[in-house]
Structure 1
Amino acid sequence: MRWWRDLTANGRVVALTLATVIGMGSLGWAAVPLYDLFCRVTGYGGTTARAEAGSDVVLDQTVLVRFDASRERDMPWDFRPEQTSMEVRIGETHLAFYEATNPTDAPVAGTASYNVAPYAAGLHFVKIDCFCFEEQVLMPGETISMPVTFYVDPAIVDDPEAKGIPEITLSYTFHVTDLPDEYAALQDDDAVRTTN
């Protein structure tokens, strides 16, 4: 009978260990989407808000918005803001542009990550439309102008951490991504032609 108690005790230890491993794996898998959701809801880390339309309230107060652009190390594009700053009325919808050029002889796909500084302004910087919401593909030698439509939420003037901020910086970093299938086929055709 003792062997049966030892077997059930060992079985409980194995079951508890497996449950712990599965639980930790599940938490690890869910961490990124949950953190992203948390950042979008709270504006933590300079994550911006999104809206379908502009604000109904426009204030006489203004804030300076600066625009910044960078690339990850492997991204071959030239990427820059078309304007370095603009003075915006709080609550008014504005349009800014970034320019990207693919100087290579192959199509390159990229996505942009973004943040706002200071972080306290992230919750109040609202994007209506942005090139960063979708993947961009540039053909060899192609240059494009990419818009971002935004406003600064009037609630910023009532936020004790964000009110009185004199300037906000909107930063984008472009990262290389895999080409969509239709472009990958074009790249393969070009490689075959150059080897013949």
Structure 2
Amino acid sequence: MTRETRTVAALVGVVVTMGALAWAAVPFYNWFCRVTGFGGTTQVADSASEVVLDEVVRVRFDANVEPGLDWTFRPMQTRMDLKIGENGLAFYEAINNSDEPITGTASYNVAPEVSGYYFDKIQCFCFNEQTLQPGERVEMPVSFYVDPELVNDRDAGWVRDITLSYTFHRTEPKQAALDAAPADNVN
């Protein structure tokens, strides 16, 4: 093997490795955020907390839509005071202001970011895409609690105000995407 061939092979190896790392970066980052709460990513819980502390946390609610999405989207309450560990149930309202069905998916985070690891959602409209018919109005619940372990965290123990924020993005309905996919030819 000549020196030039080894150099080309090494460069191709570097390019393939960089491509593989770039491909894996998004799923790895999403996994990392879910596990650590990094970037204000909330946690998912199967059930409510069994421990409720006598300390109060204020949860504020925020709603946004991406430009071009003809929806009105707002929280039905601006804030809620709960004991840490107590289950909360909040509602958001969405209205399709257009003359066509629109499907949207909500992205979410909490602030301050350090509280993401301790903000647990039991049920949320953000877990599924939402399709609204023209003029349709829906109320969408989110059931959550703040994990009592928050108070023991050296970095997050000071948090007593959390903002839960959602942004709705227009998405292609999953069924429409499946219908549009080319069928495999089977002979």
- Asked whether the two chains share a fold, i.e. TM above 0.5, the reply is yes
Q: Is the 8 A contact 1:107 1:183 kept in 2?
A: no
What residue number does 2:9 align with?
15
Unpaired segments of 5 or more residues in structure 2?
Answer: 180-187
Q: SS at the partner of 1:91?
A: coil
What residue number does 1:131 align with?
125
C-alpha distance in 2 between matches for 1:184 and 1:164: 47
What residue number does 1:113 align with?
107
Cα deviation, 1:110-157, whole Å, max 9, x if unaligned, reads: 101101001111110001111111111001110111111100000001
Structure 1 residues 182, 8: closer, same or farther in 2, change over 3 A? closer
Single out whichever of 12-21 and 144-153 deviates more from structure 2.
12-21
**Percent of residue pairs bearing the same amino acid type:** 55
Unpaired segments of 5 or more residues in structure 1?
Answer: 1-6, 186-196
User: Greater helix share, 1 or 2?
Assistant: 1
C-alpha distance in 1 between matches for 2:129 and 2:17: 33
* Superposed counterparts of 1:146-185, under 5 Å: 146-181=140-175
**Are positions 1:32 and 2:26 aligned together?**
yes
Q: SS at the partner of 1:147?
A: strand
Structure 1 residues 40, 129: closer, same or farther in 2, change over 3 A? same
CA RMSD in angstroms comes to: 1.6
The two structures have a TM-score, normalised by structure 2, of: 0.91
How many pairs align?
Answer: 179
C-alpha distance in 2 between matches for 1:182 and 1:117: 35
Shift of 1:166: 2.5
What residue number does 2:78 align with?
84
Structure 1 residues 184, 142: closer, same or farther in 2, change over 3 A? farther
The two structures have a TM-score, normalised by structure 1, of: 0.87
